[in-house]
Structure 1
Amino acid sequence: MNPNNLEQDKTAKHRLISKVLSPALWLFVRSQVEQVSHLEVQIASSDRQILSGSIPRLSISGDRIVYKGLHFAKISLMGEGMQTNLHQVMRGQPLQLLEPMVVSGEAILQETDLNASLKSDLLSSALTELLSKLASSNNAVRGQIDWKQIAIAPGSLLLQGNLVNSSHTTPITLRCGLQLSSGRKLLLTQPQLQISNSWEELENYVMDLGSHVNLKELTLEPGQIVCRGSITVMP
């Protein structure tokens, strides 16, 4: 076989993969979020690795992202060890993740993002469940909570809302410090609960995020939270 033909065939395959795989990967990432104002996906892989469906490293960056109702001002992520169904993609099928992949990087949540996220069932339900565990002995904390606002100060959070039951609505405020306990656990320190005008001191509480999470840094700055670490994404 003519060596020139082999080289031309290799070049054609590489161009085809670049034209097919890159857009398919962009669409795959885009399909995971509800909204994004700017999204970039870059692939770092050799021809042989790409042909096998393996992407050793890819970078993802985006602005103004909404994921499951949660708002993020900015993300910058690096994925490693991505295995894809490349042969099916070449036939026009959607790209799929075949094996677990570790994604590491940074996410910034601004105060405005968290307040917009309060409209999502995911965050509002999580906060209500958290409060029920923090104040499990307080019979006044019963019923639905309509969360209204989150304020971020250096090292601490202030959450405000209304406790709604069958008879009336009562203002409620939760103040606590927040820091890393381990890669997968957050520690809520010196939590205080206010119902109407009465404050109650609560016990410190450890929140487990799950074995798929490994945070390296969690910083609460005025008006924003900065997270750095990794998460394992399952197929």
Structure 2
Amino acid sequence: MSELVTPSGAIYTPSDLEVLRYAARVRFVAYNPQPFTLKSGVKSNVYVFGREDLTDYPGFEWLVGRKIAELICKSVEAVDSRPCLIGIPTAGTALAQAAAMVSWREAIKTPSGHTICHRIMREALKQHGAHPDWVNGKPSRAHRYWLVDNVATDGRSKPEAREKLLASGYLAADEYPPVFIFVDRQQGAVRRLQEAGFTKIVVAYNLLDAAFAFKEMGLWPGQVVEQVEEEIRAHQF
């Protein structure tokens, strides 16, 4: 399959299809006849993981990192500082690191010639040692900080992560960092983030489009597309 036109009109390239084929095989995006319970409390037959299913497969992790690096470098302005990705723990941490590594190795650069770097956000605030803040290291004027996450359903984790950046001195009080989301479940997260003040949100894949691609590649049952579409209609935040 060379290219695929998705329900949203987005065109998936052979590179996109390679990423998604791998994502289905390792269950980064998983379908289960018995529904999962999401963090939002909604039940769904589709779950986005992004933990050992990503890091146990370095070839897949590299493909994901390349996709993230390409999208971020295309989305920044020529005057922007160097993108520094901060993954929302736990799943976002590996995504941020993968994008930085691929950006450097494959020379994927912003219009101003910057490659991507990354920093690490803690799951819990450190109570001892030399670095007691939420993020390792002091903020740098040479960086523009991005939040990175594997999935968005209701979007709650992104404002929570922004508060941690504020507490660590990474943002001004009125500043909202750009956000990268690998899979948007299309249940209102992007709209809610925009209403909260986030102005730059980059999404790699919409869930309905991804489910359609999985069906077309023979990886998921055909009825899953209809199930996902119904979930999106029934559970908007």
User: TM-score, length-normalised on structure 2?
Assistant: 0.30
Q: Which has the higher strand share?
A: 1
User: Quick check: which has more Rg, 1 or 2?
Assistant: 1
Of structures 1 and 2, the one with the larger relative CO (CA 8 A, separation 6+) is 2
Q: Which has the higher helix share?
A: 2
